[in-house]
Amino acid sequence: MQITKKFIVVGAGIVTLVAGGGVAFAATTSPAATPNVTAAAPKVTAEQAMQIAHKEVAGAWVSEVDYQRRGTRPDVWEVELTKGTQRHELDVDAATGKVTKHETDKNDDHGRDDHGHDDD
Q: pLDDT digit string (tens) for 77-117?
A: 999 999 999 999 999 999 999 999 999 998 765 544 444 44
Q: What is the pLDDT of residues 6-33, one digit of tens each?
A: 444 444 444 444 444 444 444 444 455 5
Q: Where are the alpha helices (DSSP H) in 1-120?
A: 2-29, 46-56
* 106 DSSP β-pair partners: 86
pLDDT of 41 higher than 80: yes
User: Which of 28-42, 45-59, 102-116 is predicted least confidently?
Assistant: 28-42
**Cβ atoms of residues 77 and 94 within 8 Å:** yes
- For residue 74, how many other CB atoms are within 10 A of its CB? 16
Rounded CA separation 61/82 (Å): 5
Rounded CA separation 84/90 (Å): 17
**Cα torsion angle, 100, 51, 94, 37, sign:** negative
**Cβ atoms of residues 73 and 102 within 8 Å:** no
Share the mean pLDDT of the chain.
Answer: 75
Q: What radius of gyration, in Å, describes the C-alpha atoms of the chain?
A: 29
Q: Give residue 35's pLDDT.
A: 53
